[in-house]
Amino acid sequence: MTSQIIPVDPFDFIIFGGTGDLSERKLLPSLYYRQRDHQFSEPTRIIGTSRSKMSDEEFQAFAKQAISDHVKPADIDAKELKTFLARLSYVSADATSGAGFDKLKKAIGDSDRIRAFYLAVAPALFGDISHKLKEHNLITPNSRIVLEKPIGRDLDSARKLNDLVGDDFHESQIFRIDHYLGKETVQNLMALRFANALYEPLWNSAHIDHVQITVAETVGLEDRVTYYDKAGALRDMVQNHMLQLLCLVAMEAPSSMDADAVRDEKLKVLRALKRINGNEAPKHTVRGQYRAGASAGGPVKGYVEELGKESNTETFVAIKAEIGNWRWSGVPFYLRTGKRLATRVSEIVIEFKPIPHSIFGDSAG
């Protein structure tokens, strides 16, 4: 499957948490790539907002440094970068007090073009921001609100957050984002499975021995100390990114590529996952935490040293999962993810069953 660049209508993109880690490492570099690939139409604007006091020029300098740090040098085009930075402006606003939202409204103006509010902030602020947008009449029929994970800590808190945002935005305006699904290789899974007459007939328990899904990172906490210790590897990676990958590997063919049709097939997989009770947990799961050692040719601190206090939060987790349906009965799915591992890798391994008998002998490999 070849990616296709489709220019989009002009829009306003407002980043709450515009000076934060997610904006720096992911959003601004990704938006720059959209500029470089000529996907923006004029007059598309990007407005950063957070509590920090900052001028437009300072925010543009912040974005320039972020792109320098997180985009390959060969991908940086000086002309496109200059055009991209000219799109950027900044408004200081406080989601809890509402200070600055009048300035944000003035900066956005009265245009009826699409405006996307991207919440790159802690989930505790989702409701406050949503309500302030409504109070200041910033929500139009062409508005979108984008929620980054984690959407709550558990089922109860997730429902409360969805209700808070749902009080202000229609469900069709709410986008819950898992950025792993934007990776080209992940998107190609659909084509590999459902546009391939060779593999799809073999994609079942009769031919597949097991599936391994690995997301390994070499980095430690970096700038995510406060968030990560409350989440851990299980909440940070498994319940969103890795389960999405599992669903793409295991789901039945949707009736179409419509979002609801794909979602319905994913839900069938999640509902078919066998529960792991307390007695089975030691046999089917592993939790760990990295300690002091060496990485990238130099010494590194352990998790608790980086955190500055004792903690039982896991930085590594491995799970043996099973799907109780006709296609996958008896096929284990091994999920593993962690920080400070030897190699940075994201991969899905489909291990097919061996042939009944090899005529080539053991030395043939």
Could you report the per-residue pLDDT of 263-295, keeping only the tens digit for each?
A: 999 999 999 999 998 889 999 999 999 999 888
Number of residues in the chain:
365
- Give, as one character, the DSSP assignment of residue 251: P
Domains of the chain, residue spans: 11-177, 181-352
Q: What is the pLDDT of residue 224?
A: 74
Verify whether residue 70 is a known catalytic residue.
Answer: no
Least Cα distance to 18 among 97, 89, 102, 123 occurs for 89
Phi and psi at 254, nearest 5°, equal: -70, 160
Kindly name the residue from 70, 179, 241, 284 that is annotated as catalytic.
Answer: 241
Q: What is the pLDDT of residue 231?
A: 87
Q: What is the pLDDT of residue 251?
A: 96
Residues 189, 125: Cα–Cα separation, whole Å: 34
Report the chain's C-alpha Rg in angstroms.
Answer: 23
365, pLDDT greater than 70: no
User: Do 181-352 and 11-177 have the same topology in CATH?
Assistant: no
- What are 23's two structure tokens? 């904006």
Q: Which residues share a beta bridge with 15?
A: 48, 118
What's the sign of the alpha-carbon dihedral 53, 56, 58, 63? Answer: positive
Q: Name the architecture of domain 181-352.
A: 2-Layer Sandwich (3.30)
The one-letter amino acid at 335: L
Least Cα distance to 116 among 147, 90, 85 occurs for 147
Model pLDDT for residues 306-320, shown as the tens digit of each residue = 888 999 999 999 999
Residue 183 or residue 106, greater confidence: 106
Q: Where are the alpha helices (DSSP H) in the chain?
A: 21-22, 28-36, 56-70, 78-86, 101-108, 126-135, 155-166, 184-194, 225-233, 243-250, 259-272, 281-284, 303-307
Cβ contact 266:176 at 8 Å: no
Long-range Cβ pairs for the range 189-194 (8 Å, 24+): 189/245, 189/248, 189/249, 189/348, 190/1, 190/248, 190/257, 191/1, 193/248, 193/249, 193/253, 194/253
188, pLDDT greater than 90: no
Model pLDDT for residues 12-68, shown as the tens digit of each residue = 999 999 999 889 989 999 999 999 999 999 999 999 999 999 999 999 999 999 999
* pLDDT tier for residue 152 given thresholds of 50, 70 and 90: confident
Residues 350, 185: Cα–Cα separation, whole Å: 15
% pLDDT > 70, the chain: 98
Q: What is the pLDDT of residue 269?
A: 97
Residues 20, 162: Cα–Cα separation, whole Å: 23
Q: What is the pLDDT of residue 63?
A: 96
**Mean per-residue pLDDT of the chain:** 91
Residues 243, 149: Cα–Cα separation, whole Å: 13
Q: What is the pLDDT of residue 208?
A: 96
Q: What is the pLDDT of residue 220?
A: 87
b/e 209-240 (16+ beta carbons within 10 angstroms → b): eebebbbbbeebbeeeeebbbebbbbbbbbeb
DSSP symbols for 131-189: HHHHHTT---TTEEEEEESP--SSHHHHHHHHHHHHTTS-GGGEEEE-GGGGSHHHHHH
% pLDDT > 90, the chain: 68
Topology adopted by domain 11-177: Rossmann fold (3.40.50)
Q: What is the pLDDT of residue 2?
A: 54
Model pLDDT for residues 216-243, shown as the tens digit of each residue = 999 888 767 777 888 899 998 998 899 9
Q: What is the pLDDT of residue 225?
A: 76
Helix (H, G, I), strand (E, B) or coil at 323: strand
- Give, as one character, the DSSP assignment of residue 51: S
Cβ contact 210:332 at 8 Å: yes
Model pLDDT for residues 73-130, shown as the tens digit of each residue = 999 999 999 999 999 999 999 999 999 999 999 999 988 899 999 999 988 899 999 9
Residues 3, 14: Cα–Cα separation, whole Å: 26
Helix (H, G, I), strand (E, B) or coil at 55: coil
